[in-house]
Structure 1
Amino acid sequence: MKQRARAFAEKAHAGQKRKSSDAPYITHPIRVAERLESAGYSEELVCAGYLHDVVEDTPYEMEDIETEFGPSITRLVAAHTEDKSKSWQERKQHTIDTVKYAEKEVKYLIVADKLDNLLSMEQEYQLQGDALWNKFNAGFDEQKWYNGSVAANMAVGLDDDEVPAYFYEFADVVKRMFGGEG
């Protein structure tokens, strides 16, 4: 099923590029899925890693995900899909609230996604400097608030042994990029 999810994501994101670079978009969901797989998570969660941006950023609908991959994967993807009709601030507040209160699998997916985004952002910042912020819907201060808020809320409700190493990595990258936790 993981191979099917990857192939579906590759088809859906064909021709798309990352916002801050010329890298093919598919590199992002592949890295998210690989992070989830290396952390030892379920096949469903790894598939959701491949598919997490399909509904948000391509013509495919949640029904397409459900038809191809069933309700369990669809539920994970849906929990992480932003409503693009809302403002940037509303969408990001929803993600912060979701990461704070969601079940652990949804938290794992969101933070794996946000970590990969922030690592890419950090890499591009080293190349572009402050010009990078012009490529996003929100500048440095908003990005600091958002990523710091995700870091502050990602482990809420988890026992220490349920917090994966990449959560700590995310907190470290937030500190490197923004000089604190929001």
Structure 2
Amino acid sequence: MIKKAEEFAFQAHQGQKRKCSDEDYIVHPIRVAKTLQLAGGSTELICAGFLHDVVEDTPYDLEDIKKEFGERVRYLVDSHTEDKTQSWQARKSHTIETVKGGCKDIKSLIIADKLDNLLSIEDQYQKIGETIWSQFNAGYEQQKWYYQSVENMMRKGIPSTQTPAFFKTYSDAVQRFFA
């Protein structure tokens, strides 16, 4: 099922590029899924890592995800899918609330995604500096608020002994980049 999810994501994101780079978009879901796999995530969670942006950024919908990968994967992808008809602020506030109240798998999916996004932003910032913010719907201060808010909510409801190691990597990246 994991290989099928990777192939589905590859096909769905064919021709798409990452913001601020010439990198094929598919490298992002691959890195998210790998983070989840290395942390011992379930098959369904790893599949959701590959598929987390499919509904937002391609013609596929949640029913396609459910049909191909089952209800649990659909549920995880849905929990992380933003409503693009909403403002940036509303979408990000919703994600913060989802992280706050979500189960460990939902939190893990979102943090793995945000970690990869932040590391990509950090890398591009080293190359192009402050002009990076013109590539986004929100500038430095709003991004800082968002990434720090996610960090503040990510451990709520999870015993410290069950927190995936990459949560610390995320915290370290937030502290380093937005200090």
Task: Provide the TM-score with structure 1 as the length reference.
Answer: 0.97
2:104 partner amino acid: K
**Matched residues, number:** 179
Alpha-carbon separation, structure 2, partners of 1:28 and 1:148? 21
> How far does residue 165 in structure 1 lie from its aligned partner after superposition?
1.1
The CA deviation string for residues 124-143 of structure 1, in whole angstroms up to 9 with x for no partner, is 00001000011001000000
Equivalent in the alignment of 1:52: 52
1:3 partner amino acid: K
- 1:1-182 correspondence to structure 2 within 5 Å: 1-179=1-179
The CA deviation string for residues 100-135 of structure 1, in whole angstroms up to 9 with x for no partner, is 101110000000000000000000000010000110
What are structure 2's unaligned runs of at least 5 residues?
none
1:41 partner amino acid: G
The CA deviation string for residues 138-182 of structure 1, in whole angstroms up to 9 with x for no partner, is 000000000000001100011011111111111111111111xxx
SS class of match (1:75): helix
Deviates most, 169-178 or 87-96: 169-178
SS class of match (1:119): helix
State the superposition RMSD in angstroms: 0.5
Task: Provide the TM-score with structure 2 as the length reference.
Answer: 0.99
The CA deviation string for residues 76-109 of structure 1, in whole angstroms up to 9 with x for no partner, is 0000100000000000000000001011100000
Alpha-carbon separation, structure 2, partners of 1:20 and 1:87? 21
The percentage of aligned residue pairs carrying the same residue is 56
